[in-house]
Amino acid sequence: MPKKPIVPIQDLLSNYRLAKCELEIYRNRLVKKRHVTVNAPRYHGPGVAVLDFECPPEMVAVRLPNKNVWFYPIDTVTPTPKPPKTPKP
């Protein structure tokens, strides 16, 4: 049974860096839009994308309405229009 050829480490690193860069660009666009909707298994609702340097590249840091910040997979976060301001009573 022939073995599959091993992918050179340089190719793996190149692909990883390219993917990481693309993910960071997309995440930065979400942070600029700010208002997002999270559709993850543990939470579904509104939030605000924030820049967090401890957040892995495949995740987005989202501040929830209760002011907690959680990391969610990038594919579960979508930008939404800014909600209208509600007048104070």
Provide the whole-model pTM.
0.72
Tens-binned pLDDT, residue by residue, of the chain (89 aa): 666 667 688 888 889 899 988 988 888 888 887 899 999 999 999 999 888 778 888 899 999 999 999 999 989 999 887 766 666 66
Beta strands in 1-89 (DSSP E): 35-39, 44-50, 59-63, 69-73, 77-79
Helix (H, G, I), strand (E, B) or coil at 24: helix
- Which domains are present in the chain? 9-79 (2.30.30.140)
- Length of the chain in terms of residues written: 89
